Chains A and B, each alone.
Chain A
C-alpha cells in the first residue's frame, strides 16, 4: 500500500528501477545502502560517513558524499533523490522543479515505522524482495530482545542543555518495549524538549541515559557534569548511549533496543 502511495507521489514507475540514486538524508542514506544493488546508489550525505551519526561508515566509505545542495545533487544527474521530510525545503522544491524525482521519508517516531520505511525505500529502489527479507529479520530480532513485562522502571534521557526526549519519539518507544517508563514523557515533554535540571532531580529516575561527549569544548555539555546530576547518577544506574544507534529508524536500532533491554535486566532482580 505504502509502496503504491510512494509510486503515485513521485510519478515514477515501481517497475523500472532507478539506476542513479542520490540520497541526501542520513536515514534514507542508511536504508538505501542496506537495500540498493551495487552501483545503484551513486551518492549519500556526508553524515553517512561520520561515525558519530552513522552506523554504516564502512558502506559509505566508497561513495560520493554530498551536502544536499540542489546544485550539487542536480549535477550528479540522478534519476531518483531520497530525502527526509525535514531536508531543506528549498533544495527539494528546486530539484522537483528541475524535473528530478524525489521521494521523501518522514522521520521514524515508533519502532513500527522501521518495516514501513524499509518497504517504502525498497519500493522506490525496485528492491521489494530484499526489503521484505529485512523486514522479517527485523521483526524477529525485535521479538527476541523486547522485554514483555509491564513498564515499571523509570528512565530519563538527559542531553546537553537539559534536552530530553519525551512522548511520541522513537527513543520513547524503545523505552516502552524494554520495560521502562520515560521520565521525560511523564514530566509532560512531547517530542524533544528541555527538562529543567531541578525537575529531573525531583523525579529521581532509576536510570539516566546521556549522550557521549563530542570533541571540542562547549558550555552546553557542562550540565552533564553538574554536581546535582552527579549526585543523581551516583544513586541511579547510568548509561552512555552511542548517538548513531539511536538516530534513525533502521534495522540497526535493534542495537539500542538490546542495550536498553540489558539495562532493564540489570536493574530488575
Chain B
C-alpha cells in the first residue's frame, strides 16, 4: 500500500501530462474544457480523438508490459526474463504483421491482437519448455536471443516482400514501438484482450509466492503447477500480444520496472504484480511524453527511449550475477 499510492499518483500525473503535451499548442484551460465539455471543434477533435487514445494506450501498454515482466520473472525465478528481450514481443509483432499482410485484419479487425496473442503465446510456451523453472539463466537467454532474432528476421522478411512500399519502413515500428497517431479504435481493439490477460495473471500471485520456495515445496503446498504455468503463458501472451498489436514491440519495460520495484515490496512476487503494472504505465507514459518533447516532428520511436534507459539496468544485472557467481 505504501508503494501503490505514490505510484498511482505518479501515473495519474503522467496521464494528465500526456493529455496536455503535444505538437499543437493548446492552452491548459482550453484543452481541459474541450475534453470535458466537447465544445470548440478543432480542440475537441485533438483532445478526444488524438491525445486521449494516445494517453490511454500508453497507460494500457505500459501496465501490460510491467505486469507481464513481473509475472515471467516470478515464474521463471529469473530477473532477466523480459518480454521484449527474450523474443515474446518480437514474436507478437510477427503474428500481427502476418495477419496484416495476409489481409486478415482488413476482413476482421480483432484478428490483429489475436494473431499477436498467438505469436506471443507460442513463443512463451516454447521458452518455458526450453528454459522452464529450474532451467538456468543461460538456457533462458540463449533461447530468448534465438527466438527474438528469428522473429525479427521473419518480420522483416514478410514486410520486405510486401507489394506496399510503406511496409518496408514499418520494420522500425514493429521492432521499436510507437504510440503516434493511434485512435480509439486501437484502444477498443486491445482492451478486451488485455483484460483477459490481467484476469489470468492476477490470480497467479499465491502460486508465484509459493514457487519462490522451489517447485517441490510449492507442489507440497498444494499449488497446481501445470495450471499455474498455463495461466502465466496465456496471461503474458494476451497482455504482450495486445500491447504489441497496437504499439509495436516496446522493450526493456518489463525488465526495468520489476527490477526497480522489487526491493520496495520485500521481493514478494504477488505484491510485485500490481506495483509493476503501475510502474510500467508510468515508464511508458513518461517515455511517450519524452518522444513528443524531444523531437515532436520526427516520430521518435518509443523503444529507443526505453532501451536507452533500460540497457544500463541490464548491464548492472549481469554485473551483479557475475559477482554473485564468483
Tell me the A residues contacting B by CB distance below 8 Å. 160-162, 193-199, 201-202, 204, 214-223, 226-228, 231-232
Q: Closest chain A residue to B47 by CB distance? A: A198
Alpha-carbon gap, A215 to B167, bound state (A): 11
Alpha-carbon gap, A197 to B32, bound state (A): 19
Minimum distance in angstroms from B107 CB to a CB of chain A: 11
Alpha-carbon gap, A198 to B299, bound state (A): 13
Minimum distance in angstroms from B170 CB to a CB of chain A: 6
Alpha-carbon gap, A214 to B167, bound state (A): 10
For window 7-53 of B, CB contacts with A under 8 Å fall at: 22-24, 26, 41-43, 45-46, 49-51
Residue contact A217 to B105, C-beta cutoff 8 Å: yes
Residue contact B49 to A160, C-beta cutoff 8 Å: no
Q: Supply 5 further A-B pairs (C-beta < 8 A) apart from A228-B46, A231-B45.
A: A196-B23, A215-B164, A217-B162, A218-B162, A226-B49
Asked whether A198 and B23 contact (CB < 8 A) given A217-B164, A232-B45, the answer is yes
Alpha-carbon gap, A76 to B106, bound state (A): 44
Minimum distance in angstroms from B169 CB to a CB of chain A: 6
Give the one of B51, B166, B167, B296 with max A CB within 10 A. B166
Asked whether A196 and B49 contact (CB < 8 A) given A214-B166, A219-B170, the answer is no
- The residue that A217 contacts in the complex, of B45, B49, B167, with Cβ under 8 A, is B167
What 0/1 pattern do residues 84 to 123 of B give for CB contact below 8 A with A? 0000000000000000110101100000000000000000
What 0/1 pattern do residues 118 to 151 of B give for CB contact below 8 A with A? 0000000000000000000000000000000000
Give the one of A216, A221, A222 with max B CB within 10 A. A216
Alpha-carbon gap, A182 to B119, bound state (A): 44
Q: Find chain B residues with CB under 8 A from A216 CB.
A: 101, 162-164, 167
Asked whether A202 and B183 contact (CB < 8 A) given A218-B167, A219-B173, A220-B170, the answer is no
Alpha-carbon gap, A48 to B240, bound state (A): 44
Q: Find chain A residues with CB under 8 A from B165 CB.
A: 214
What 0/1 pattern do residues 40 to 69 of B give for CB contact below 8 A with A? 011101100111000000000000000000
11 contacts between A and B (CB under 8 A): A193-B297, A196-B296, A199-B23, A201-B50, A214-B163, A214-B165, A214-B166, A219-B170, A227-B185, A228-B183, A231-B49
Count of A-B contacts with CB under 8 A? 93
Alpha-carbon gap, A87 to B288, bound state (A): 36
Tell me the B residues contacting A by CB distance below 8 Å. 22-24, 26, 41-43, 45-46, 49-51, 100-101, 103, 105-106, 162-167, 169-170, 173, 180-181, 183-185, 296-299
Residue contact A198 to B100, C-beta cutoff 8 Å: no
Alpha-carbon gap, A195 to B50, bound state (A): 14
Q: Closest chain A residue to B297 by CB distance? A: A194
Asked whether A198 and B50 contact (CB < 8 A) given A204-B42, A219-B100, the answer is yes
Minimum distance in angstroms from A153 CB to a CB of chain B: 18
Alpha-carbon gap, A7 to B50, bound state (A): 54
Minimum distance in angstroms from B56 CB to a CB of chain A: 14
- The list of the 5 closest CB pairs from A to B, nearest first, reads A216-B164, A220-B166, A228-B49, A196-B23, A218-B166
Asked whether A217 and B100 contact (CB < 8 A) given A196-B23, A201-B46, A227-B184, the answer is yes
Q: Find chain B residues with CB under 8 A from A226 CB.
A: 49-50, 181, 183
Alpha-carbon gap, A199 to B297, bound state (A): 10
Alpha-carbon gap, A252 to B163, bound state (A): 26
Minimum distance in angstroms from B32 CB to a CB of chain A: 16
Residue contact A194 to B169, C-beta cutoff 8 Å: no
Alpha-carbon gap, A204 to B43, bound state (A): 11
Residue contact A214 to B164, C-beta cutoff 8 Å: yes
Q: Find chain A residues with CB under 8 A from B162 CB.
A: 216-218
Q: Find chain A residues with CB under 8 A from B163 CB.
A: 214-216
Alpha-carbon gap, A231 to B48, bound state (A): 12
Minimum distance in angstroms from B182 CB to a CB of chain A: 8
Residue contact A199 to B42, C-beta cutoff 8 Å: no
Q: Find chain A residues with CB under 8 A from B42 CB.
A: 201-202, 204
Q: Closest chain A residue to B41 by CB distance? A: A204
Q: Closest chain B residue to A202 by CB distance? A: B24
Alpha-carbon gap, A226 to B169, bound state (A): 19
Residue contact A227 to B183, C-beta cutoff 8 Å: yes
Q: Find chain B residues with CB under 8 A from A218 CB.
A: 100, 162, 164, 166-167, 170
